[in-house]
Each structure stands twice: as C-alpha cells, then as structure tokens.
Amino acid sequence: MKLSESASYDLAVQALDSFQIEVPSWGFANTGTRFGKFVQAAAASTIEEKFADAAEVNRLTGVTPTVALHVLWDLPNGVDDVAEVAQLERRFGIRAGSINPNLFQDQEYKFGSLCNPDSEIRRKAVSHVLDSIEIGKRLGSRDVSLWLADGSNYPGTQSMRKRIGWLEDALREAHDHLLPDQRLLIEYKPFEPAFYHTDIADWGMSSHLARQAGPRARVLVDTGHHYSAQNIEQIVAWLLHTGLLGGFHFNDRRYADDDLTLGSIDPYQIFRIFHELLSADTEGPPHEVAFMIDQSHNLKGKIEATVQTVVTAQELWLKAALVDRRQLAVLQQSCDLVAAEELFRGAFWTDVRPLAAAWRQHRGLPADPLAALRDGGYVERIGFERGSRHSTVTSYA
Ligand code: RM4
Ligand code: MN
Ligand code: MN
C-alpha cells in the first residue's frame, strides 16, 4: 500500500511518529523459571552484548532508542561503571533508559530492603537507590524505576504499618536527591516473592507513596502485576486523571507475572490501555508516560521476541489511534451502546499491518522487521560468536 492512497495516512503517520518504547537489557539475557533455565547460544551475557542487541532491534524497528538497565546486573560497580556505559551509548547509538535499582538479590534483603525492620539494612537499600539516582544523573537518564520485592509470607510476622512509615521515609529521601528533570517511578505488584503481603501491592499504595515522596514521583504500571480480571485501563484512567501516571512495563500474562510477550494472550487489553492514553492526550496536555517492555524470553529467541513485541505494540497503538474519538464521545453521550462498542471494536479489528509497513518504508526501515531479522543473519552470527563461551544466567524469574 502507498501511504498516499490511505485515508488514514495522516493519522497513522502521526501515531507512529509519536510512538517509542524502551527495551529491557534483561530481555536479551538468559532467564528462566525456578524450575529450570534453558540457555540460548545468542543470549547476551555482557552489557556490551546487551547494547549490541538493543541496537539491532532499533536498526530494524527505528523506535527503540533506549535500553533499560538493572544496576546490579548491568552496572555491578555502580557509578564506577558509568563511563563504560556512556562509551557503549556512543558506540551503538543507543541511550541508557530507565535505571532500575536491584533491591531483591542481596542476602541481607531476606526480610526486606527499604522496609526491613533492621535500620542498617534499610540504610544500605536507600543508599543503593541514591547510587541509582546518581547513575541516572551522570547518564542523563530521566527515570529511576523502583520495584521492591519487600513483603512477608506469614500473617502476624511483620508490622505492615511500621513498614509503610519506613517506606515513606526512604522514598522522601530518594526524591530529595533527584535533579529537577529526574523522576522516581514507583512500581506495584500484589504478590511474589512475598506471598502474604507485599509492601507496595497496588496502584493506590503506589499513588499514596508517590504523593508523599514529592512532585517528581509517579506510578509505574506493569501490566503483569494485577489480579486476574482486573480492569487495568480503569486504573490508567484514574492515574491519568490524578496526574500520577509515570510509565508502563508492558508484557502479557495468563496467570500472574508471566512476563509473556505483549499482546500474545490479550491484545485487546493493550488496545484498551492505549485508547485511554490517546484519549487523555487529545483532551488535554500530553502526558509524560514512559513506555517500556518488561519481559523474560525464556523459550522464544530473545531478539526475535523483542522485535515481535515492538511490532505488536506499534500495531496496537495504531489501531487505538484509529478510534474516532469525537464520534465516540457523541455515542457515549447519547448512550448508544452498540454503536459505541462497534466503533471501538471496529478500530481494533482493522488490519493496520499495511499502514505500519508503509510507514516503515517511508522512513527507510524494513517493511517487515521480523523477516529482516531472519534474513540479516545477526542472530546466527552472535549465536556462533557467543555460543562457545560459558553463558551466565540472570537469576530472576
Ligand atoms: C519484577 C518487576 C520489575 C523487574 C523485575 C526483573 O517482577 O516487574 O520491574 O525489574 O521483575
Ligand atoms: Mn516490571
Ligand atoms: Mn514483573
């Protein structure tokens, strides 16, 4: 399809021009479940390899200029590793994206990090967050994304209320160290690894903590971190309304935090979330919402899964952009239920792949990034180069 032939041309160009998504460094590394890990020859085991893989995804899709970093896995020496990361940024044309403190792997964090009853352990955790903020400053990266594994496994074994207070203190202190253009994103998750209570279990708790921490703290929604049947787009609507939505970790789920590829189980859900975001943008000032992928590719090829995810996200974004929101508002106002629903679903059912392909070609990108990845031989080459080396396995999931 030629772009000019399409009535949706302007809309599609505008929508795809405005869409970018961050890839996670850990999506390129070997991960698995607690029952086993199946290593892949092409998996990245160094920060350099992660940047190289992120650059390949960006070369094919053109919309992933940043890579999220996990401090413990990617900058094990903290700020001392910043120079190497900055050099990799220049070499690969990929910027460091969100900085993720790791508060869940040290032995001391057995009973919590920022919420640990031991004040010395809390101090250690806070100082890791402050280091992460410093890393973000030096790399010029805007967001520090905080996820805690803190919680408890058995009723009565911890004071949930005391832990709220410790958390508020820690987040206020962290917020005090932010530069004016830095943000603190607070992620929530109802369970795992703690199975009785989690210290930041839902968006209400994250919202409260963000407000307490200060004006540059926001809520981070990970689509996999919700109970079954929870209406995530309604949460998004509330967070947009209250000005507290900071970003997303996109993935898909069937049962819990499965970290499956975006749209693989329920693409309609992502479409509904995108519709809320696009409605808010057309009704008011643009919201600074960071789109990030948070997935664990245990069985699929890592780069292939990442490219597939980015392409799927673009397609769902484009579908949501095609919703005629002015007409929808009229139908909502008159409570014309079936017409409203058909208009909404009609956009979802539209095959936008030709439009997306035309947009890519227009920008000198491969029309079909997945096919281009297969034809390009990158995965075979790195599999050959990296496969002979002992592969490390990232311990999460
Ligand atoms: C958690 C959470 C965090 C991610 C870790 C690896 O479940 O989603 O965002 O950094 O996994
Ligand atoms: Mn996440
Ligand atoms: Mn998760």
Chain segment 260-285, per-residue pLDDT in tens:
999 999 999 999 999 999 999 766 65
Using CA positions, which residue lies closest to atom 6 of ligand 1? Answer: 396
Question: For residues 231 and 42, what is the distance between their CA atoms, to the nearest angstrom?
Answer: 37
Question: For residues 151 and 40, what is the distance between their CA atoms, to the nearest angstrom?
Answer: 33
Q: Any alpha helices (H) in the chain, and if so which ranges?
A: 9-17, 47-61, 71-74, 82-92, 119-139, 160-176, 203-213, 232-241, 267-283, 302-321, 325-333, 337-349, 353-362, 369-376, 378-387
For ligand 1, residues with CB inside 6 Å are 100, 147, 187, 189, 222, 249, 257, 294, 396
pLDDT at 284: 60
Indicate which ligand has the atom closest to the C-alpha of 101: 1
Atom of ligand 1 nearest to the CA of 100: 10
Strand order in the sheet with 143-146: 23-24, 66-70, 95-100, 143-146, 183-187, 217-222, 245-250, 290-293
Which residues make up the environment of ion ligand 3, defined by Cβ < 5 Å? Answer: 257
Instruction: Name beta bridge partners: 70.
Output: 100
Using CA positions, which residue lies closest to atom 3 of ligand 1? Answer: 147
- Cα end-to-end span (Å), the chain: 42
Atom of ligand 1 nearest to the CA of 26: 6
pLDDT at 11: 83
Nearest alpha carbon to residue 174 among 148, 204, 202, 154: 148
Using CA positions, which residue lies closest to atom 7 of ligand 1? Answer: 257
Residue of 206, 253, 294 to mutate, ligand 1, most atoms within 8 A of C-beta? 294
Indicate which ligand has the atom closest to the C-alpha of 259: 3
pLDDT at 390: 55
Sign of CA dihedral 120, 124, 127, 129: negative
Residue type, 322: L
Structure tokens at 129: 């967050």
pLDDT at 88: 98
- Report the 10 Å Cβ neighbour count for 299: 10
Residues contacting 74, CB < 8 A, separation 6+: 25, 47, 50, 81, 85
Residues contacting 173, CB < 8 A, separation 6+: 126, 130
Structure tokens at 9: 């041309």
* 3-state SS class at 75: coil
Structure tokens at 215: 């004006």
pLDDT at 3: 44
pLDDT at 263: 98
pLDDT at 391: 56
Note whether 309 and 373 are within 8 A (CB).
Answer: no
Q: Tell me, in angstroms, the distance from the centre of ligand 1 to residue 385's CA.
A: 29
Indicate which ligand has the atom closest to the C-alpha of 98: 1
Q: pLDDT digits over 103-134, tens only?
A: 999 999 999 999 999 999 999 999 999 999 99
pLDDT at 206: 98
Using CA positions, which residue lies closest to atom 1 of ligand 1? Answer: 147
Residue of 143, 222, 255, 296 to mutate, ligand 1, most atoms within 8 A of C-beta? 222
Residues contacting 150, CB < 8 A, separation 6+: 103, 112, 113, 114, 115, 116, 163, 167, 194, 198, 199, 200
- Cis before residue 366, ω within 30 degrees of 0? no
Residue of 189, 292, 295 to mutate, ligand 1, most atoms within 8 A of C-beta? 189
Residue of 128, 150, 249 to mutate, ligand 1, most atoms within 8 A of C-beta? 249
Indicate which ligand has the atom closest to the C-alpha of 148: 1
pLDDT at 397: 45
* 3-state SS class at 268: helix
Length of the chain, in residues? 397
Kindly give the parts of the chain with pLDDT less than 50.
1-4, 397
Q: pLDDT digits over 164-183, tens only?
A: 999 999 999 999 999 999 99
Q: Tell me, in angstroms, the distance from the centre of ligand 1 to residue 11's CA.
A: 34
Question: For residues 86 and 102, what is the distance between their CA atoms, to the nearest angstrom?
Answer: 20
